[in-house]
Amino acid sequence: NAGVTQTPKFQVLKTGQSMTLQCAQDMNHEYMSWYRQDPGMGLRLIHYSVGAGITDQGEVPNGYNVSRSTTEDFPLRLLSAAPSQTSVYFCASSRLAATPLPRETQYFGPGTRLLVL
């Protein structure tokens, strides 16, 4: 298994440009999510999905769109990049938690470093 893969690893954008960050997982996980991490801060949740066709907003969704057409892929779109979106972006996936023996852990990708000029 490749686990969670993200492309590209690095990207430089100009203000106003659009781009899509790709995320894929081969573990048949229902749950996928996107986080951003700014210097000296923890990760903040942008959007998440509990299955194909279902997405929802996290803590900092403004400026980002997502879709989930397949179980494997969860792309993150920046429609009009802004310098405030300069960050490291992490994609994660997991099984949905189950009771009574929760074994859910999240698997993170290697990250995409984005610089918006």
Partner 1 sequence: DAKTTQPPSMDCAEGRAANLPCNHSTISGNEYVYWYRQIHSQGPQYIIHGLKNNETNEMASLIITEDRKSSTLILPHATLRDTAVYYCIVRVNTGTASKLTFGTGTRLQVTL
Residues contacting 41, CB < 8 A, separation 6+: none
Backbone angles phi, psi at 84, to 5 degrees: -65, -10
* Least distance in angstroms from the C-beta of 108 to partner 1: 3
Rounded to an integer, what distance in angstroms lies between the CA atom of residue 56 and that of residue 103?
23
Backbone angles phi, psi at 72, to 5 degrees: -80, -30
Rank residues 2 and 41 by Cβ distance to partner 1 and give the closer one.
41
Q: Taking CB under 8 A as the rule, does residue 1 contact partner 1?
A: no
- Taking CB under 8 A as the criterion, the residue among 27, 43, 52, 60 binding partner 1 is 43
Q: Determine the interface stretch with partner 1 among 11-19, 30-38, 61-69, 73-81 (rule: CB under 8 A).
A: 30-38
Q: Taking CB under 8 A as the rule, does residue 33 contact partner 1?
A: yes
* Least distance in angstroms from the C-beta of 49 to partner 1: 10
Q: Taking CB under 8 A as the rule, does residue 107 contact partner 1?
A: yes
Rounded to an integer, what distance in angstroms lies between the CA atom of residue 62 and that of residue 3?
28
Q: Taking CB under 8 A as the rule, does residue 47 contact partner 1?
A: no
Q: Taking CB under 8 A as the rule, does residue 106 contact partner 1?
A: yes
Q: Are 61 and 46 contacting, i.e. CB atoms less than 8 angstroms apart?
A: yes
* Strand ranges, E, within the chain: 4-7, 10-13, 19-25, 31-37, 43-51, 54-57, 64-66, 76-78, 87-94, 107-108, 112-116
Q: Taking CB under 8 A as the rule, does residue 74 contact partner 1?
A: no
Q: Which residues bind partner 1 (CB under 8 A)?
A: 4, 31, 33, 35, 40-45, 48, 50, 56, 58-59, 88, 90, 92, 94, 96-99, 102, 104-111
